[in-house]
Amino acid sequence: MTSISEQLSDALGIMVMGMGLVFIFLSILIIGIGIVAKLFPPPVEVPTLATVSSNATEPTVLDPKLVAAITSAIHQYRAK
C-alpha cells in the first residue's frame, strides 16, 4: 500500500502534466488562429456612392383612408 505522500506527489504530477498539455494546446491554437488571420484577411468593402433618384425629392403622400384605418385599429387595440 502506498503512502499518502506518494499519492499526493502522483496527483501533483498528473495535475501539472494536464495543465501543461492544456497550456500547450491553447498556445498552438492561438498561434494557428493568428496565422490564419494573417493569411486570409477579411474582405475590404469599397463604399459606393449612392445615386440620387428623382423620386427621392418628391414628398410621399399618405392615403387618408389608410391613416384612418390605422388610427381606428390603434384605438380599438388600446380600448381592450
The distance from CA 9 to its chain's CA centroid, rounded to whole angstroms, is 44
pLDDT at 15: 98
In the predicted model, what is the mean pLDDT of the chain?
89
pLDDT at 2: 81
Higher local confidence (pLDDT), 42 or 24:
24
| The C-alpha cell that represents 41 in the structure block | 484577411
pTM over 0.95: no
- Report the pLDDT averaged over residues 71-80: 93
Q: What is the pLDDT of residues 14-40, one digit of tens each?
A: 999 999 999 999 999 999 999 999 999
- Domains of the chain by residue range: 4-43+52-79
